[in-house]
Structure 1
Amino acid sequence: MKDFQTEAGATFANGVTLTGGGVLRGARGLLPVALFVVPFGVSFGVTAAEHGMTPEQAIWMSLLAFSGVAQFASLDFLSPSVPFLSLALVALAVNARHVVMGAVLSPWINALPPGRRMLTLLFMTDPNFADSYAAFLNGKRDMGRLLGGGLALWAMWTLGTAIGVLGGKALGSLDAYGVDVVMLCFFTALVAGQAKASRYWAPVALSCAAAVLLQGHLPQGWDILVAALVGGVVMAVSGGRDIAGRTR
């Protein structure tokens, strides 16, 4: 702990830092969103119990894996003889979007030493990626924001898992609470804030169209991955020009 506190304020390449203060700010900033992760954790806990997992197994899985969709998908592989290769391939497929997210953050995350880099990426999820990327584009350089936001989400996901596996059935159907719309509103607000320049309109519109059209036709998560690739390709082909052909 002493080494972390001593070196937490070190500045790496491109002015990137990883500070304890940044971790706290990231956690506080995403705590309101993280609270709405609890019902999803509850849902996983209930489902895990229905598949025969003990409370200890479900909670430890959330603590160590922290991969919502992959955790749900893995429940279908529970058997006396676990097909580990198939399980790994499913986890890779549903989390393939992390390849795109990692590439987007590479100018900042790669400035960290390997140990801090792996620790920070371990807690990267969709919400703290989107929040941190917007901050980095605005000149922020403290990777603690990404790590802190991830820690908040991880804690709430694990809390939800514990509630669900220990007594979530008493809550009834979670769909009635409409918590799934919170994440949609969160990401929509972030995209809208970053898409003010007209050069972003075409990539955003086409990636949204791809996600909607492909939903239900591809395995879960792949529609988002393909939509991200569509937006990236459109942006690369356009060269940053807006719809009138002007570069801004």
Structure 2
Amino acid sequence: MEPKSIPQYLFRQLFENESSTYTYLLADLATKQALIIDPVVDTVERDAKLIQQLGLKLRYAVNTHVHADHITGSGELKKKFPDCKSVISNESGAKADIYVKDGEVIQIGETGKTPVILECRATPGHTNGCMSFVSHKNKSVFTGDALLIRGCGRTDFQQGSSDKLYTSIQTKLFTLPDDYRVYPAHDYTGQLCSSILEEKTHNPRLTKSRDEFIQIMANLKLSHPKQIDKALPANLMCGIQGDD
């Protein structure tokens, strides 16, 4: 009887109801090193409890961009896990411990074994500092607010540019293999994930030409985000207010 293989990778998709935000927890089980993507301050206690229960060592709290609809949980997680570093794009304009650029990688685990590696892909348009993170090993991409399930991030405030967003999605995301799973920062219809092929085929905005896309985005008539006035100032500090 052959021995069972031991899983080396942990993945959890977590949800925050008020802002319909997905938070993602990834870990290398060989070393117990972990990272969290787009944590929300309101669910820090839940997330910290899970991390502690699983015996994980949180190394990074990663934000895909400066959020306007919730306050990041990065700062509170750093208090609970002193070795944790906050991460955001160098184009975000926000404060963080580590700034990442297009083409760089974030790694947890040991080189030469089976580390979890995320490729950083700049996907501006919703904001200047939007960053998507690709796990080639696990055929998945964490798209933040750039690409949503059958939608995309709005472009009517906070450095938004429909032209930039169209370019980002077409050149940085839709060039990934069709079977890569798409994990967005939000979903408002109860869907958990999509795929590159699905979005290339069925996304009602992104199957259109550039000019049609820009016209669609200019006429969404969306309401102002409820938490933007308190979320933006806090998130520009990336949850690490008071640090030097």
If each structure's strand is expressed as a fraction of its own residues, which one has the higher value?
2
Which entry has the higher C-alpha Rg, 1 or 2?
1
Give TM-score scaled by structure 2 length: 0.23
If each structure's helix is expressed as a fraction of its own residues, which one has the higher value?
1
